[in-house]
Chains A and B, each alone.
Chain A
Amino acid sequence: MNTIDRKLRERLLVAPRVEGDRLMLGDAVLLAALDGSRALTAGERVALQGSPLTTRRLRTLALARRQAANDAWQGSRGMLRAADSGARLTQLATDDGFWRLHFVDSGGARRVILQLLPDAPFAARLLREGALLHVLDGAGAQVLAGRLDLDGECECDWPFGDDPAVHFQRHGAAFTVQMGS
């Protein structure tokens, strides 16, 4: 969806006003529908669609849920897969799919780049806060530390003597991305 469409659709859902509109569904019902534990009945669905105010309440709850998921992020973990050990290692991903580690050679120097994918629920927060991030190998040694730039990337020299594939293999075959302090 492009930006105009996204904005239009949001306006179309929250802008209508219905005379005498009121909250038709309680928070418990809306939250259960949002977390998937109880889908709305047909009657409740009609009530939601007919009430812009209730839709706006759903919006508040949905955004708060997303915010909570965002706030809860403390770190992500990734592993060196068997397939990564053969050919030259160029990238690793965290299990949650929100981070990539890229390994590049530039003019003889090896660099490591941490990339945050823009669809991560906590992407906006980390970029805004300019949070200090650490990447550690499986033995707890620091691979990289820094703050993301506006593209959601952070880059530095590869700090170890061994190639990335060899290094990770010797140090737990895993890595973590976490908030620094």
Chain B
Amino acid sequence: MRLPGTRYQEPGWEQVRKLLGQCSLDVFSRCDLDALFAQDDAAAAYVDLLAASLHAASRGARAQAAGNSYGDSVVELALLLVYELAARPGDFDALRTALTPAAARGEALLRKKVNDMFALLRDKVDADNYQAACGRPCSPNRIYAYRMLDTAYGEIGRLFAGWREHRAQVGAILGRALDSALPIEVRQLDSIGGCRPEWILRWSETLERFTGSPGPLHTRSKRFDSLKGNADKIGEMLGEIGEYEALSANRDRDWLQDLDTSAAWIEDYWRVLDESNAASTPGPDLILEALQDELDGADAPAAAAATGADDPLAILRAQSVSLPPGFVLAAGAAEEPGSWSARMLAGDTLAVRLAVYARLLGLDDDSYPDAWRDPATGQLPTMAQLAALDAVSLPTLRKRRDAAIARLEAATSNGRSE
């Protein structure tokens, strides 16, 4: 299924999920989970370790496979999701809580909990992506509902294709008894936009009769309450999926790529702020109301984090490869002292600056000079290497990095700077 802006709703998601599970288990097997979870920046530590593990796995066949039809690979989608996790500590806290009883540590269970976390996260991320792409409010639950309808359509299509074997069930979906002639609806159904909402309702209603388990619109769960018996709303959502599928199949892909990479809009953003500052437009403020649609009801906030201290990652750091002698000098010389970022980060060490770049732009970006790269990997040094460079612990480096990023964020959102 494709919707405006979404990245994680196509079949490639299965591989993204598996790669995240595989790399999470790799991380868990290499560190002391209790000590990891006890840190006060456990989420950041987990994110860094998981990102490193994903990088290490990034050349594998699974990692390189297409994760969606927009050209994102499985490992790219996995990394993006991991960085989203870093910005949403509540999601990680839920995982930590779920794994805190030491009994909950079997491999299968670990995998399942990680799966659950990322499955929720992908719908949050895509709900945001959808809103940014089309300007209409959307919740993770609405994304889930779109997917349920898309799956239902796929299921109905499958039954239609084998209508002779499933005559009774297809008849129940169409709402009439079938004789031996090919039903016209079966012949005509060729896209989700042509799927009638009544079929979805009847399919769900009669699913228990044909399969033994109730359909998604006929369970006791309140999740789809606003769709139950609501053919208009279902029809609207089916139509939207169908419309975008047709559009995105024809759309010039390069155009979408350009949208993603062009930073020219920042000038527009600053101009909007400047003009607002200068104009003192009279009120009232035209701020949108929070949406009341049941499907978009707010998610329950996750529990607050426990705190603790200690560094379970000493072993990992000891294993880190040392950088070539002279790295600091060469890398420092390759910086542009007059640039905005260099000035903003002038009070930080080189290691912190590189950690900031790595977090924001990734370990490998074509804008990095060669002198910043570890010759062994061709990428920026890892967090462990950078921490060793400053002779500080990883959590300390992380704190300094995050403080520097917060400073940059504040400067950037306040508008054009000197």
Contact flags A1-45 to B (C-beta < 8 A → 1, else 0): 111111111111101110111111111110001101011111111
> Is B275's CB under 8 angstroms from A36's CB?
yes
Q: Which residues of A contact B262 (CB under 8 A)?
A: 63, 66, 124
Taking a contact as CB atoms closer than 8 A, the residue among A9, A17, A22, A26 that contacts B291 in the complex is: A22
> Is A57's CB under 8 angstroms from B132's CB?
yes
Taking a contact as CB atoms closer than 8 A, the residue among A3, A24, A63 that contacts B367 in the complex is: A3
Does A53 lie at the interface of the complex (its beta carbon under 8 Å from any beta carbon of B)?
Answer: yes
Interface SS, A side: helix
Q: Which residues of A contact B414 (CB under 8 A)?
A: 49
> Is A40's CB under 8 angstroms from B276's CB?
yes
Q: Which residues of A contact B301 (CB under 8 A)?
A: 19-20
> Is A42's CB under 8 angstroms from B280's CB?
yes
Q: Kindly state the separation between the CA atoms of A48 and B282 in the bound complex, as whole angstroms.
A: 17
Q: Which of B355-406 contact A (CB under 8 A)?
A: 356-357, 360-361, 365, 367-368, 405
> Is B283's CB under 8 angstroms from A58's CB?
no
Q: Kindly state the separation between the CA atoms of A39 and B360 in the bound complex, as whole angstroms.
A: 31
> Is A12's CB under 8 angstroms from B287's CB?
no
Q: Kindly state the separation between the CA atoms of A57 and B255 in the bound complex, as whole angstroms.
A: 17
Does A60 lie at the interface of the complex (its beta carbon under 8 Å from any beta carbon of B)?
Answer: yes
Contact flags A46-86 to B (C-beta < 8 A → 1, else 0): 01110001011111111111110000000000000000000
Q: Which residues of A contact B365 (CB under 8 A)?
A: 4, 7
> Is A11's CB under 8 angstroms from B361's CB?
yes
> Is B361's CB under 8 angstroms from A7's CB?
yes
Does B277 lie at the interface of the complex (its beta carbon under 8 Å from any beta carbon of A)?
Answer: yes
Assign chain A's interface to a size class: 35 or more
Does B272 lie at the interface of the complex (its beta carbon under 8 Å from any beta carbon of A)?
Answer: yes
> Is A5's CB under 8 angstroms from B339's CB?
yes
By beta carbon, the residue of chain A nearest B260 is: A63
By beta carbon, the residue of chain A nearest B132 is: A56
Min Cβ gap B396→A in Å is: 22
> Is B285's CB under 8 angstroms from A44's CB?
yes
Q: Which of B259-288 contact A (CB under 8 A)?
A: 259, 262-266, 268-269, 272-273, 275-288
Taking a contact as CB atoms closer than 8 A, the residue among A11, A38, A58, A64 that contacts B269 in the complex is: A58
Q: Which residues of B contact A20 (CB under 8 A)?
A: 298, 301
Q: Which residues of A contact B356 (CB under 8 A)?
A: 8
Does B159 lie at the interface of the complex (its beta carbon under 8 Å from any beta carbon of A)?
Answer: no
Q: Kindly state the separation between the CA atoms of A49 and B409 in the bound complex, as whole angstroms.
A: 11
> Is A16's CB under 8 angstroms from B272's CB?
no
Contact flags B209-230 to A (C-beta < 8 A → 1, else 0): 0000000000000000000000
Q: Kindly state the separation between the CA atoms of A40 and B247 in the bound complex, as whole angstroms.
A: 33
A binding-site residues for B, Cβ under 8 Å: 1-13, 15-17, 19-29, 33-34, 36, 38-45, 47-49, 53, 55-67, 124, 128
Q: 18 A-B Cβ contacts within 8 A?
A: A1-B340, A2-B336, A4-B368, A5-B341, A7-B365, A8-B341, A17-B87, A36-B275, A38-B281, A40-B281, A41-B284, A41-B285, A42-B276, A57-B131, A58-B268, A58-B272, A59-B132, A60-B135
B binding-site residues for A, Cβ under 8 Å: 83-84, 87-88, 90, 128, 131-133, 135, 137, 254-255, 258-259, 262-266, 268-269, 272-273, 275-288, 290-291, 298, 301, 336, 339-341, 356-357, 360-361, 365, 367-368, 405, 408-409, 412-414
Known: A11-B360, A39-B279, A45-B276. 20 other contacts (CB 8 A): A4-B339, A4-B357, A6-B266, A7-B360, A12-B408, A15-B87, A15-B360, A21-B128, A23-B131, A33-B272, A34-B268, A38-B281, A41-B276, A41-B283, A49-B414, A55-B269, A60-B135, A63-B262, A67-B259, A124-B258
